[in-house]
Amino acid sequence: MTTIAPEIIERAKKGDIFAFEEIVSTFEKPLWNYLVRLVGSKDDAEDLIQDTFVKVYKHLKSIDSSKNIKSWIYTIATNTAYDFLRKKKRESTVELDEEYETKPDNASYYSVSIEDSIERKDVTAAIERLDLLYRGPIILYYKDGFSYEEIAEMLSIPINTLKTRLSRAKKQLASLLVNYE
C-alpha cells in the first residue's frame, strides 16, 4: 500500500511546498485511477484531482500525522467527486445519459491484454453505470484495497451500511453485466 513518511507530512504541514509535492507524487497516480473510474471521464478527473490536492494543501494543518493520510486524501477526493457528480446530474440529466452512452471508448483507458479486454470493458462499463451510492464503495474496496473500517470512515457511514451497499452494488453489477452479455 502507498505510504508516506510522517516527517514529510510534518514538513508539508509547516508549508514546505517541496514536501507537499512528494505527497502529490506519491498519491496522484492511484487517485487519478480512482477518480477516472468514479466519474467515468478523464477531463472531469483532471479537474477533480487538482481540486482535491488544493483542498488537501489548504487543510493539511488539521490532519493528525499519525492518522492514515491515504484514507484522508481519498475522503477528500470522494467528497469532491460526489459533489461534482451530484451537481452535474442536477444541471443536466440528459447530458449525463448521453455521456454514458459513449462509454465503450473507456476501454482505451486501460493497458490490458487483448484476451482480457472484452471482459474488463464490460466490468468497467458496468461499474460506471452503478448508482453513485454504490460506485465509490466498490472501487475503494475491490480496486484500491481499503478495509471496511477505512471506507466507512471515508464515507461517514456505519460499517453495516457499507456492507449492505457493497452487497447491493454486487447485485446491481450482476444485473448490469447480464445485460452486457
Partner 1 sequence: MNEHDTMDKKIESLADFGDIAMPEHLHGKIMKRVFLAGYGKYLFFTGSILVLNLGVLGMDLYRTFSRADASLALRSLRQGFAFSPSYIGSAISTLYSMLPLQSIIATALTVVLSAYIAVVFVRIYRNPHGVKILKA
104 forms part of the interface with partner 1 (CB under 8 A): no
User: Whose Cβ is closer to partner 1: residue 28's or residue 99's?
Assistant: 28
79 conformational bin, left if phi > 0, alpha if psi -120 to 50, beta if neither: alpha
User: For residue 62, what is the DSSP state?
Assistant: G
Candidate ranges 62-70, 92-100, 156-164, 171-179; the one touching partner 1 (CB under 8 A): 171-179
Judged by CB under 8 A, the number of residues near partner 1 is 39
List Cα–Cα distances, 93 to 41, 138, 150, in angstroms: 16, 23, 31
DSSP state at residue 2: -
Site string for partner 1, 53-72 (x = CB under 8 A): xx--xx--------------
Site for partner 1 in 2-31 (CB under 8 A): 15, 17-18, 20-21, 24-25, 28-29
Cβ distance to partner 1 smaller for residue 92 or 164: 164
Task: List, in order, residues 6 or more apart from 40 with CB less than 8 Å away.
Answer: 99, 100, 103, 106, 128
Which SS3 state, helix, strand or coil, does residue 10 take? Answer: helix
Residue with smaller CB distance to partner 1, 57 or 82: 57
100 DSSP 8-state letter: H
Q: Is 156 left (phi over 0), alpha (psi -120 to 50) or beta?
A: left
- Of 2-10, 46-54, 64-72, 82-90, the segment contacting partner 1 by CB under 8 A is 46-54
Stretch that binds partner 1, among 44-52, 69-77, 81-89, 148-156 (CB under 8 A): 44-52
- From the list 31, 36, 174, the residue with the least C-alpha distance to 107 is 36
Interface positions with partner 1 (CB under 8 A): 15, 17-18, 20-21, 24-25, 28-29, 32-33, 36-37, 42, 46, 49-50, 53-54, 57-58, 109-112, 119-120, 123-124, 127, 138-139, 142-143, 145, 170, 173-174, 177
